[in-house]
Structures are given as C-alpha cells and as structure tokens.
Structure 1
Amino acid sequence: MADPRGQLRREIRRFWGALGSGSDLGEAAGEAGVAVRTAYRWMRECGGVRAIRVEEPSAYRVGFEDRERIAFGLAAGWSFTAIGRELCRPTSTVTREVRLNMRHRRSRRVGYDGSLRGIDWIHDWEYLPSRAQLRAENAANRKQQTKLTANPRLAEEIQSRLDREDSPEQIAHRLRIDFPDEEEMRVSHETIYKELYVQGRGALRRDLHQKLRTGRAVRRPRSTVGARQERGRIAGMVNISERPEEVEGRAVPGHWEGDLICGSNNASAIGTLVERATRYVMLLHLPTAHGADAVQDAMVEAMSRLPQQLRRTLTWDQGKEMSNHVQITAATDLDIYFCDPHSPWQRGTNENTNGLLRQYFPKGTDLSGYTADYLEFVATRLNTRPRKTLDWRTPAEALDELLSNPPQPAVAVTA
C-alpha cells in the first residue's frame, strides 16, 4: 500500500542526515534521491534549521509496516490478540492503535436485480494504514509553543539585545548574569537562532537576522569536524607533531615553511617558501595551474638548486596542492610535515612573509601574469632587506653566515 507522505518524510530525513554527516547540498540531495532545487527549497522553507527529526523512529513505536500487517490481520478476521502475537507486541498496543484510527464507512447495497429499488446502507468501520501513519507523523511533528512565544518578556529582552547587534551566544550568557535568580529569563543561543531562521515562529522580528554578523537569512549547514578533516585528508601525510625538535630552535638551516598566495577568485597562485632560521625566501612560478602536479614540478625545480644541507624539512598546511608530497620527497630528499587544520600559527614565519609579499602581489589581482623574472626580483628584494629579527642583517647575509660557519653539534662531556 502506497505511503506518499511517509516517503516524503523519509527523503527529508535522509537529506538532513546527510547534511549533518558532512555532505554539501548537492551530495545530500543525491543521498535523498531528490533534485538540488528541491533540497534547496527545503532549506529555504525552514531557514536552514533541521525541519524534522533526523533519527529514524524508535523500534518501540508502531511503524508503517506494522500498520499494514494490522490491516491485513483485520481483513482476515484475526483477533487483536492474534495480531499482537504476529507483531510481537502487547494486545493493548494493537487495540489502542486500531481504536485511534478506525474510520466509519457507509456504503450502499444495490438490489439483486441491479436496480436501485430495495437499496440498503451498510455501516461498518475500516482501518487505513496510510491514514494512520500520516496521523502519527503529524502528531510527532506538530507545532508546539516555543519558549519565546510563551514568554513575551524574554522575547522582548532578546529582541532589544539583537537590535544592539549582540550575538545570540552573547545574549544567552549575559541573561544568566543579568537575571541570576529568574529561571524563566534563560535561553540557549540555539533557540535564538531557530527563532530567527525558521519562518512562521513569530516570536522575533524576521528582519533581525540582519543584525547577525553574517547577515544571513538561512542557516548554512556545517559539517562535523571529523567529517571535514576526513574528507580533506591527504593520503600518507606526516603530522607536524612528528617533526624533529631541531626545527624549533632555528639554529640549523634547511628547514622550510611553505604555502600558496592566491589571486582573484583563487584562479591563480604563487608558491612561497621561507627558510626558518634565516627568513630566506624562494618563490614558485605557477603560471598556468596550481594543482598538485604543477606544485610538484615547481618545488622539485626550486629545491634542486639548493645544496643538500639546505634541504632538510618542509612544513605546509593541509592544502590539496601538496597531494604529491611523496613524489616531492623522493625527488628532493626533503621531509614534508603538515600542520593541524586551521592552525596557521604553526608556520608563522611563512604567514609573516606572505604578508610582506602582498606589497608586490596585491589581493584580488590575477597572479598568473607575473613572470618568473619578476618573482626572482621580488625574492631578491626581500632577501636583501634588513630584518629586525636578524639583528638588522639581511636574509641573504644570514644564510651565507650559516653556510660558512655551520653550528657545531653538542658534544657530551663525561666525568
């Protein structure tokens, strides 16, 4: 027996479940088996806030399959006890389910001769599984009075603070401080967000979403940290926690930090390498592409110009442009380590250098138009600029000094 309403709810449930597990809108729509336009409409209608329970209904509740078997048993003339035994459920469960969802039906019986003479009306009752399922789902997802609707004073307080452009999290915590003895004046920031995003709640003005820092009227689904890290994880990468301790001391040359600076719409990029001890800079020319293959070729070419003692380690973030790190290590004998996600301070020297480079490569420009000669010119300018951190020496001078007088390894002294 068809259950179109139940099918729709299952599709919506699969959609929100996929979003919660880290899928984007298109992937979640494919998981639910609907068009992207349909999935986007679902999001707009509920402001990006989950519309129904994502979890599957509890096995203890009567489901659609159970209701179909109840209808079959009633048609076959089974007793409630026999139906309950078939479903492995108490007889009282079957009795309550049937009595709640039985519908009165009146049909007419035509005479034996096919005429309407002697017409008689038959009164009986019928149980429809699809109708019972729809009624149960509507009851489970019925609109309930929200906390702000039930407490106008709290809603007015939140509304005034949103007008002051306080964030929902700030409001939730300040209410606990400003009203320490009034439990009814407490609310979670998640409740405030739902009141702002979900249409039809009415406790807060609809235009107040403009007071949020994002200004969005629809909540943007965010994947979980684990799903985000797993989906963007580079195969075989070695974490920065396994990097040798000598890198932190900056006494030994040959330990590099790297990244890409990107142009307008991330359509172009330039690779940046900076040596930790001396702040010596090298730039990678990427005129046509900045994917894994292009970065590998430019990295191998640049590192091959350096002596072996200047090729020890490289620290990079978890960008996909370093997917070929194994091939780079094999070609250059350079050990590559990856920072933790969203931790730019773990390669702070490179971040600082990228800020200096923006003087020559402004944000929002097309970086593919710069020639290799110009990149060499910019690198020379930075390498011959006095640096406070080097006691006003230049990176080129510091590098020459380290190469001429390499630090001597510590010798253990025994009594």
Structure 2
Amino acid sequence: MEPGTDQCRLKLDFPDDQSMRVSHETIYQSLYVQGRGALNRELTACLRTGRALREPRARTRRSGRTFVTEEVKISSRPAEAADRSTAGHWEGDLIIGLEKSAIGTLVERRSRYTMRLHLPRMEAFGTTPYVKNGPPIAGHGADAVREAITAQIGTLPKHLRRSLTWDQGGEMAGHAQLTSDAGIAVFFCDPHSPWQRPSNENTNGLLRQYFPKGTDLTRWNATDVDAVAITLNCRPRKSLGWRTPAEVFTDQLQSITQAGVATTP
C-alpha cells in the first residue's frame, strides 16, 4: 500500500465521520511497537522493504557531512528540478549487498529513466584485511563512483545533465571533481531524508526484486544489471500517462537534438 492510501480511503468510506481519520505515522508506530520497535520475524518477511525497524523522521536528524556546504544542499537546488518541468535533473544512490558489494543507480526525475553504475571490487578485495578509512577495495569509493557517473552522464547533451541529487554518503566526497568532469551540478539531501529522492528510492525498491537484500551483488555482471535497467525502462508508468521511461527519455533526447540542429547556422 502506498503511503497515504489509508488516509484517503477513510475519507472516501467515511466522508462525514471525523473520528475516522488517522495519520499514517500513527499506523506505522502501532505496527512497530511490538518488541520495542521491532516487528515479529514472520511479519517482517511480509514487508516489501524487509525493514524490521523504523524511526520517525524527527529522530534521524544530524549535522551531516563536512563536504556538504550550504551551496550544495538540496535547498539550493533549482526549483525546476523539484517540479519535474525540465529534463536533465537526476537522482542517484547505491544499493549495498553482502560483503560491501554495491550497484549504483541514476534516475532522471522527469522521465524516470534509469541508468546503472557498474562498481566492481578491487583486486585486493578478499586478500587484504579491511582497514577503517583505508583503500576503498569494496569498489564504491569516491573515485570509483565519480568515474562511473562521469562515464554514464558525461556523454549526454548538456541539457540532459543539469543536476544530480544524492544522499550524504561518503562515496560523493569528490562531488566538486564530478561537477568538473561531467558538467553536472551536485546537490545533497538532508541527513536521513530519502523522501527527497523519491524517484530513486522507488526505483531502488523495484530493483530489490531482482537484487534481494543480503545477496552478493557481484554475482551479476554489467550485462545482467543493464538488462534489469532495460526492463524497468520499458515498464509503462501511470505517472507518465502509461508511457515508458525509455519512450519519454528518447523524446527528450530527440527534442534537444532537433533544437540544436534548428539553431545551428
């Protein structure tokens, strides 16, 4: 059930009864009260996210990363990115699997078009002991993520790489170099605020159907991950008038290309 569905349905079923109103937060807290905030194991297995713990948003606030300055916070992001009126604004994140394996995802906000980031482990992984703050041998350090994003987005027309919104993970510590390399402005969500990247969060939820939690994501190579991205991009979406992300993104690309030809002397 989508968040808010319960509230809307109660209003429809009981339009004149104000006592039949409830906040979704109240429902969540009543569910998670068992076991001092944890669901019974059998109930956890029924959840789409598989998440056994939940905290209210207000409890998850913290100061954030030192590399996130005021000018790159989401509050400084252009308004056109928020209302999805303009193409070229992206959201990104990592899906983390067993033993620090990872797959990166990029989602274009207007078309919901998905690109993947291939992040293979370094050769030293498995032979070198893990060292805190040591070399990013798991494959999703700042340099690896920056290079993967640049490879995917850097070749797009300028008007399709306006901004990228990410969470405050350490893999984006090199965001200034990414802006220079790929020509895309980077903005960061507030700490523990995944709802500020709704398209990417929804896409990652869909991807978990193919790459379940607790599995080693290196089991799938780049071709496998691309095949899943193609599947999602060819899936009709209600938010797009039942068109597919691939169709909408292709139209955006063609429109920009034609506009460039029309303005060329």
TM-score scaled by structure 2?
0.66
Hey, what does 1:272 align to over in structure 2? Answer: 105
Pick closer, same or farther for the CA change 1:325–1:212 going to 2, 3 Å. same
Give the conservation status (yes or no) of the 8 Å contact 1:292–1:323: yes
Matches within 5 A, 1:39-54: none
Pick closer, same or farther for the CA change 1:357–1:227 going to 2, 3 Å. closer
Hey, what does 2:116 align to over in structure 1? Answer: 283
Q: Distance in 2 between matches of 1:385 and 1:303?
A: 22
Shift, 1:239, TM fit: 0.5
> Are 2:233 and 1:383 aligned?
yes
Hey, what does 1:325 align to over in structure 2? Answer: 175
- Equivalent residue in structure 2 for 1:360, among 210, 231, 239: 210
Matches within 5 A, 1:155-166: none
Shift, 1:260, TM fit: 0.5
Pick closer, same or farther for the CA change 1:378–1:214 going to 2, 3 Å. closer
> Are 2:85 and 1:261 aligned?
no
Q: Distance in 1 between matches of 2:202 and 2:61?
A: 30
If you compute each CA radius of gyration, which structure gives the higher value, 1 or 2?
1
Pick closer, same or farther for the CA change 1:226–1:361 going to 2, 3 Å. closer
Shift, 1:369, TM fit: 2.4
Give the conservation status (yes or no) of the 8 Å contact 1:283–1:375: yes
- Equivalent residue in structure 2 for 1:313, among 140, 163, 171: 163
Count of matched residue pairs = 189
- Equivalent residue in structure 1 for 2:77, among 243, 247, 250: 243
SS at match of 1:314: strand
> Which fold has the larger relative contact order, with Cα–Cα distance below 8 Å and residues 6 or more apart in sequence?
2
Matches within 5 A, 1:185-264: 212-213=36-37, 228-229=62-63, 232-236=65-69, 238-264=72-98
Pick closer, same or farther for the CA change 1:365–1:249 going to 2, 3 Å. same
Q: Distance in 1 between matches of 2:238 and 2:62?
A: 39
Shift, 1:211, TM fit: 5.5
Give the conservation status (yes or no) of the 8 Å contact 2:154–2:183: no
RMSD: 2.6
Hey, what does 2:14 align to over in structure 1? Answer: none
SS at match of 1:283: strand
Over residues 234-289 of structure 1, what are the superposed CA-to-partner deviations in whole Å (9 max), with x where a residue is unaligned? 25461000011111221211000000011025x11100100000000000000111
Q: Distance in 1 between matches of 2:204 and 2:60?
A: 29
TM-score scaled by structure 1?
0.43
Which one has a larger percent helix, Structure 1 or Structure 2? 1
One-letter amino acid of the structure 2 residue matched with residue 234 of structure 1: F
Give the conservation status (yes or no) of the 8 Å contact 1:233–1:318: no
Pick closer, same or farther for the CA change 1:383–1:227 going to 2, 3 Å. closer
Shift, 1:229, TM fit: 2.2
Pick closer, same or farther for the CA change 1:228–1:346 going to 2, 3 Å. closer
Pick closer, same or farther for the CA change 1:214–1:397 going to 2, 3 Å. closer
Q: Distance in 2 between matches of 1:226 and 1:362?
A: 25
For structure 2, which runs of at least 5 residues remain unmatched after alignment?
1-28, 40-58, 122-138, 257-265
Give the conservation status (yes or no) of the 8 Å contact 2:104–2:117: yes
SS at match of 1:229: coil
One-letter amino acid of the structure 2 residue matched with residue 359 of structure 1: Q
Q: Distance in 1 between matches of 2:35 and 2:241?
A: 48
Give the conservation status (yes or no) of the 8 Å contact 2:62–2:191: no
Q: Distance in 2 between matches of 1:347 and 1:235?
A: 17
Q: Distance in 1 between matches of 2:95 and 2:61?
A: 26
Q: Distance in 1 between matches of 2:111 and 2:194?
A: 20
Over residues 194-244 of structure 1, what are the superposed CA-to-partner deviations in whole Å (9 max), with x where a residue is unaligned? xxxxxxxxxxxxxxxx963369xxxxxxxxx899525x4325461000011
Give the conservation status (yes or no) of the 8 Å contact 1:292–1:320: yes
SS at match of 2:72: coil
Hey, what does 2:242 align to over in structure 1? Answer: 392
SS at match of 1:282: strand
For structure 1, which runs of at least 5 residues remain unmatched after alignment?
1-165, 171-209, 216-224, 407-415
SS at match of 1:278: coil
Pick closer, same or farther for the CA change 1:233–1:374 going to 2, 3 Å. same
Pick closer, same or farther for the CA change 1:258–1:226 going to 2, 3 Å. closer
Give the conservation status (yes or no) of the 8 Å contact 1:287–1:369: no
Paired-residue identity, %: 54
Q: Distance in 2 between matches of 1:212 and 1:304?
A: 47
Give the conservation status (yes or no) of the 8 Å contact 2:74–2:187: yes
Q: Distance in 2 between matches of 1:214 and 1:404?
A: 50
Q: Distance in 2 between matches of 1:211 and 1:332?
A: 48
Pick closer, same or farther for the CA change 1:227–1:241 going to 2, 3 Å. closer
Q: Distance in 2 between matches of 1:303 and 1:211?
A: 45
